[in-house]
Amino acid sequence: MLDKIVYGNVTVLNLIIASAIILAAIFIDKLLTLHLKKSLKNKVNKAHLEIIVKVVYYAIIAIAILIVLSMLGIQPSGLLVAGGIAGIVIGFASQSIVGNLISGIFLIIERPIKIGNVVDIDGTMGFVEDIRIVATTIRTYDGICVRIPNEKVFTTNITNYFANAARRFEYVVGIRYSDNADKAIQIIRELIEVEPFALKYPKPQVFVHNLGDNSVNIVVRPWAPSTYWYDLKMELLWKIKKTLEKNGIEIAFPQRTLWFANELKSSTTKKTESGKSNNS
């Protein structure tokens, strides 16, 4: 069974060994890169460390592929020539498809976005549903699927809201000038402290940002896990408003104090008139 020839001189056993070599290479790669990260952590700059790890990772994979190719009777040089010619032919025939395909390969290698991330690609915002070799599918918040060619994904600006583990958001809470801002800050801090998704670290910022026309403006900047920040944002502001009001602190609204010039004049006139009558 294992000696059965699949093609040329390649047997089933050769195919099994080739698969085993690839799997072993991936396993060794994982171990080695983990070891490199651990041992070089404090010795090499972070950016350089990433490059070293990537070079080692792909070098091992490349060596494994070369070994496997020679085992399967495929000459890499021949493959390159054949691939080059095929590439030119396909490139001329369908430029955009090849462009998307190459972009797709780079997207998969570079991984600026991952499946499940919330992203904004050229104005289309939503969850990454799938990254295929030619196109990427985005599910918008309205539940609509948008298929974007990979060439566009690769060349346009991408905002990835899930790229980092945590993110910050901001509220501005305007209270009356007659209210105690220190007390308001303390209440807001306590509310943030009891919210599980408002992160302990990085510490939230709560401070008087400016003295506005109608209110003392307190800026509230909590951090939350990137995956749950919007849930927290939706809940926290209303809790702040209700708790502040419960403690006698009101949210200020625009108001103007008007002084009437006529009122002042009429009172002056009255005084003058009464003075005149007294004299007479």
Footprint on this chain of another protein (rule: CB under 8 A): 37-38, 41-42, 163-167, 194, 196-197, 199-202, 223, 225, 227-228
Q: Cβ 251 to another protein, closest distance in Å?
A: 27
Q: Cβ 151 to another protein, closest distance in Å?
A: 28
Q: Cβ 203 to another protein, closest distance in Å?
A: 10
Q: Cβ 132 to another protein, closest distance in Å?
A: 25
β-partners of residue 113 are none
Q: Cβ 202 to another protein, closest distance in Å?
A: 6
Complex with another protein: residue 35 or 271, whichever CB lies closer:
35
State the Cα–Cα distance between residues 100 and 94, nearest whole angstrom: 10
Complex with another protein: residue 199 or 252, whichever CB lies closer:
199
69 and 76 Cβ atoms separated by less than 8 Å: yes
Complex with another protein: residue 104 or 222, whichever CB lies closer:
222
Complex with another protein: residue 125 or 163, whichever CB lies closer:
163
Complex with another protein: residue 154 or 229, whichever CB lies closer:
229
Question: 23: which 2 tokens?
Answer: 């799997």
